[in-house]
Amino acid sequence: MASASAPNSSQPLALVTGASSGIGFHLARCCAESGFDLLIAADLPEVHQAAQELSRLGTHVRSVQVNLDTRRGVDDLLAAAEGRPIEALLANAGQGLGQGFLDQDFDDVRKVIDTNIIGTLYLLQKVAREMRTRGQGRILITGSIAGFLPGAFQAVYNGSKAFIDSFSWALRNELKDTGVSVTCLMPGPTDTNFFARAGLLDTEIGQGKKDDPADVARTGFDAMMAGEGDVVAGLKNKLQVAMAGVTPSSVLAEQHRKMAEPGSAKHH
């Protein structure tokens, strides 16, 4: 645990999960550039390298290597804040899982649900309770446009993001008069390690055009600071979400099959 904790720092503290790479790393960068101290987490040692890179931006950075699909991991992360109030929580850690549901290992299925939903909710409940007591705080939750699409050949992941997209709005409403804002960032396909980790590289979506994680993070960070309810990153993704709202689920599932079925990359 590389610690640059600064209990006496006057800067607000932002907690960013899944900050070792991709969207989370760039969200942490946005926080640092806006004067936040950082507490960042991920489950591999690379999180400490990310911390060193972020600390070059001149802010205090503490990194914790924990598994956020367990309550113990979340408790260890929160302990690393050493009682400092968390002014901004960016609950971003998540992972995908390709292949047909019947061909997936159920331990992998649980890991997606425990990371994307259980661990995320446990962290949110702990931090948001303290924010509500203080009467202030900002929360950004990374959902996905996948939450609007029946995810044939990534069914569990898309289902987990449908949960998170819906949950974010409900929590936002519950906290509307408390001084705590909740924003849901819904990216489309973004150029990160996500597709390799999910085993989707031999698919059309895995090989297809993707957004820049730095742009996606900036969109999310600005929406959080503006206290917006949700933000879909990118015009093409906004159109896809709008279309999903008026397209039969059977058609959406068939479209997703074409994008995510193993080997679909070959056909194009």
Ligand X SMILES: NC(=O)c1ccc[n+]([C@@H]2O[C@H](COP(=O)([O-])OP(=O)(O)OC[C@H]3O[C@@H](n4cnc5c(N)ncnc54)[C@H](OP(=O)(O)O)[C@@H]3O)[C@@H](O)[C@H]2O)c1
Burial 38-47 (b: 16+ CB within 10 A, else e): bbbbbbeeeb
Segment near ligand X (CB under 6 A); pick from 43-51, 123-131, 168-176, 221-229: 43-51
Binding characters for ligand X, 52-71, by CB under 6 A (x = yes): ---------------xxx--
Task: Out of 15, 23, 32, 224, name the contact with ligand X by CB under 6 A.
Answer: 23
Contact assessment for residue 73 and residue 47, using Cβ atoms and an 8 Å cutoff = no
The stretch among 29-37, 87-95, 172-180, 243-251 that binds ligand X (CB under 6 A) is 87-95
Binder among 52, 125, 166, 193 for ligand X (CB under 6 A): 193
Residue 94 touching ligand X (CB under 6 A): yes
Contact characters 147-186, ligand X, x per CB under 6 A: ----------------------------------------
**Shortest approach of ligand X to residue 142 CB, angstroms?**
4
Q: What is the 3-state secondary structure (H, E, C) of 13-58?
A: EEEEECCCCHHHHHHHHHHHHCCCEEEEEECCCHHHHHHHHHHCCC
Rounded to 5 degrees, what are φ and ψ at 139? -125, 130
Q: Applying CB under 6 A, what is the total number of residues that bind ligand X?
A: 30
Question: At closest approach, how far in Å is the CB of 47 from ligand X?
Answer: 6
Binding of ligand X at residue 115 (CB under 6 A)?
A: yes
Order across the sheet with 37-42: list the strands.
Answer: 61-65, 37-42, 13-17, 86-91, 137-142, 180-186, 230-232
Q: Which residue's CB is nearer to ligand X, number 57 or number 133?
A: 57
User: Which amino acid is residue 68, in one-letter code?
Assistant: L
Nearest to 233 by CA among 266, 208, 259, 211: 211
φ and ψ at residue 235, rounded to 5 degrees: -60, -45
* Binding residues among 123-152 for ligand X as defined by CB under 6 A: 142, 144
In angstroms, give the least distance from the CB of 10 to ligand X: 28
Helix, strand, or coil (residue 161): helix
The answer to whether 36 touches 11, Cβ cutoff 8 Å, is yes
Residue 190 within binding range of ligand X, rule CB under 6 A: yes
CB of 65 to ligand X, least distance (A): 7
Q: Site for ligand X (CB under 6 A): which residue of 71, 132, 134, 197?
A: 197
User: Tell me, what DSSP letter sits at residue 149?
Assistant: S
Q: CB-wise, 93 or 124, nearer to ligand X?
A: 93
Residue closer to ligand X (CB basis): 56 or 72: 72
**139 forms bridges with which residues in the sheet?**
89, 182
From residue 89, give the alpha-carbon distance in Å to each of 33, 144, 146, 224.
Answer: 16, 18, 22, 10
13, 14, 24, 203: which one binds ligand X (CB under 6 A): 24
Return the structure tokens found at 120.
């995320």
**Contact residues for ligand X (CB under 6 A)?**
18-24, 42-44, 46-47, 67-69, 92-95, 115, 142, 144, 187, 189-190, 192-194, 197, 213
